[in-house]
Amino acid sequence: EEGEAIEHSWVTRAIENSQKKVEGRNFDIRKQLLEYDDVANEQRKVIYDQRNTLMATDDISETVTAARAA
């Protein structure tokens, strides 16, 4: 009847299977995002290391020339 809960082992199993699939997919998405974030963090570290080196150097002309040539 209307407003009554649907109860059947097939329905329950189908819902559980669907939830497991969605949870697995969401886990894979989070895992992939974490991998991308790790790459971005490594790139950020390199850039900040280069920036700090430049800021600590009195004459950056050689470094800039080398960077342009690369």
Question: Residues 30-70: pLDDT tens digits?
Answer: 999 999 999 999 999 999 999 999 999 999 998 889 889 98
Dihedral angle sign, alpha carbons of residues 47, 52, 55, 61: negative
Question: Residues 2-19: pLDDT tens digits?
Answer: 888 888 899 999 999 999
DSSP structure class, residue 1: -
What residue has token string 């009847």?
Answer: 1
Q: Where are the domains of the chain?
A: 9-69
pLDDT for res 51: 93
Q: What is the pTM of this model?
A: 0.58
H or E, element range at 68: helix 61-69
DSSP 3-state assignment of 30?
helix
